[in-house]
Amino acid sequence: MPVRIIADENIDNFIIHTLRNDNYEVISIKESYRGIKDIEIIVLANKNECLILTEDKDFGEWVFSHGMNSIGILFIRYDEKELKDITKTIQALLKEYGDTLYNKFTVITKNKIRIRDI
């Protein structure tokens, strides 16, 4: 199954365009669903079988504290000056792990990746 991604509103356009150039289908909340709530993003992702790419730690709370089912979350943490590096890390992660990231909560920093089951 090809990886599909929903990019939360906080995801930089550089990351979105880079992933699209790598032939990933990326639905941008900023472009298509501006202002929707986190819970609506989770529902949209589940409906469209997309991983959620976000910088919002609230998604971890939705999944682990509130028990909300999610198809998979990629939570990125980086400083603005690390934008190109974090983008490369995301690209490498998707290339190596692909659809095995579904049903996982993945924390991505420039130098470290942690993957845990949802």
Tens of pLDDT along 45-104? Answer: 999 999 999 999 888 887 766 666 778 999 999 999 999 999 999 999 999 999 999 999
Q: Where are the domains of the chain?
A: 4-117
Q: Is the pLDDT of residue 14 over 70?
A: yes
CATH number of 4-117: 3.40.50
Region 16-28 average pLDDT: 97
List Cβ neighbours of 58 (8 Å cut-off, separation of 6 or more): 38
List Cβ neighbours of 35 (8 Å cut-off, separation of 6 or more): 9
pLDDT band for position 118 (50/70/90)?
A: confident
Kindly tell me the burial class for residue 26, based on how many C-beta atoms sit within 10 Å of its own C-beta (0-12, 13-18, 19 or more): buried
**Rounded Cα distance, 87 and 62, in Å:** 25
Q: What is the pLDDT of residue 17?
A: 98
